């Protein structure tokens, strides 16, 4: 293996074992800066901007503003999902592969969690009109998501002026964690109720790429529950149909 690649792998292993694992086990979240470096970071940013300009990002949630009848709806986040194999997403794919490698170096050391696969990547943009994302838990009910991983892409971000801070409220802790969505910053945190979080109102365009890593056991269980639910609801559907038919007689 070429020397530089070997060096990269050593750095990644060090980041995983000496920083990410201890921080996740102790605080429940961890972020690092300069993850890809200026050049590759810019390539990812360029591809995300390209997606934004070409209208690929679809309106996410409606961010209601004000109350009562004059409920003026400001457009909230815009998102799209990429697997990284689409046209003009090579740099995003490189990022995803690197994060996959980083997570695979942590596996076996994250307690009982066995992580084998992940979601597609969610590319998100807050338009900078004051929209944010209300306080929530990513995975409150055991849908299988174990670790949330967010890569931020915002150059010269100044929270005082632009807002857009991610505030995590670590469960059972007396402090909150305010994380600025800075360019080339990678953040990881447990997706479950340990980490309620909010995106504060953003006053400049705010880009991020998120992937969720699944705990294979919890994911399999969640799929089983979903299959039962859909089977059950189809039974209810046919029962209602029988009732209607009986009433029609």
Ligand X SMILES: Cn1c(O)c(C(=O)NCC(=O)O)c(=O)c2ccccc21
Based on the shown chain and the rule CB under 5 A, indicate whether residue 184 belongs to the binding site for Mn ion: no
With binding defined as CB under 6 A, does residue 121 bind ligand X?
no
Which residues are CB-neighbours of 71 under 8 A, at least 6 positions away? 64, 65
Q: Does 143 bind ligand X (CB under 6 A)?
A: no
Q: Where are the alpha helices (DSSP H) in the chain?
A: 3-14, 21-26, 38-53, 90-106, 159-162, 216-248
Least distance to Mn ion from the beta carbon of 197, Å? Answer: 6
Q: CA quadruple 147, 152, 158, 159: dihedral positive or negative?
A: negative
Among residue numbers 186 through 245, which ones bind ligand X (CB under 6 A)?
A: 197, 199, 208
User: Which position among 47, 113, 138, 209 is part of the footprint of Mn ion (CB under 5 A)?
Assistant: 138
The one-character DSSP state at 108 is: T
CB nearer to ligand X: give 38 or 178: 178
Rounded Cα distance between 51 and 42, Å, is 14
CA-CA distances (angstroms) from residue 30 to 33, 214, 223?
11, 18, 29
Report the sign of the C-alpha dihedral through residues 12, 149, 211, 186, in that order: negative
Residue 218 contact among ligand X, Mn ion, none, beta carbon within 5 to 8 Å by kind: none
Q: Residue 44 binds which entry of ligand X, Mn ion, none, with Cβ cut-offs from 5 to 8 Å by kind?
A: none
**Residue 77 found at the interface with ligand X (CB under 6 A):** yes
From the list Mn ion, ligand X, none, which binds 103 (C-beta under 5 to 8 Å, kind-based)? Answer: none
77 part of the interface to Mn ion, by CB under 5 A? no
**Site residues for ligand X per CB under 6 A:** 60, 77, 79, 124, 133, 138, 150, 166, 181, 197, 199, 208
**Site residues for Mn ion per CB under 5 A:** 138
């Amino acid at each position: 293996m070429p020397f530089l690649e070997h060096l990269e792998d050593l750095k990644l292993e060090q980041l995983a074992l000496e920083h990410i694992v201890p921080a996740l086990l102790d605080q429940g979240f961890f972020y690092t800066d300069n993850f890809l470096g200026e050049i590759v970071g810019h390539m990812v940013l360029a591809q995300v901007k390209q997606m934004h300009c070409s209208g690929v990002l679809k309106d996410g949630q409606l961010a209601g503003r004000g109350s009562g009848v004059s409920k003026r709806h400001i457009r909230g986040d815009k998102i799209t999902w990429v697997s990284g194999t689409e046209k003009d997403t090579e740099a995003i794919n490189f990022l995803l592969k690197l994060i996959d490698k980083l997570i695979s170096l942590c596996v076996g050391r994250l307690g009982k969690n066995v992580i084998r696969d992940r979601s597609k990547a969610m590319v998100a943009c807050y338009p900078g009109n004051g929209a944010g994302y209300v306080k929530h838990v990513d995975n409150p009910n055991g849908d299988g998501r174990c670790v949330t991983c967010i890569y931020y892409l915002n150059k010269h971000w100044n929270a005082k002026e632009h807002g857009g801070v991610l505030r995590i409220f670590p469960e059972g802790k007396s402090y909150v964690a305010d994380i600025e969505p800075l360019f080339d910053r990678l953040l990881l945190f447990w997706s479950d109720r340990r980490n309620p979080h909010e995106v504060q109102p953003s006053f400049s365009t705010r880009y991020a790429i998120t992937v969720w890593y699944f705990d294979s056991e919890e994911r399999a269980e969640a799929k089983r529950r979903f299959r039962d639910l859909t089977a059950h609801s189809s039974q209810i559907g046919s029962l209602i149909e029988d009732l209607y038919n009986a009433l029609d007689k």
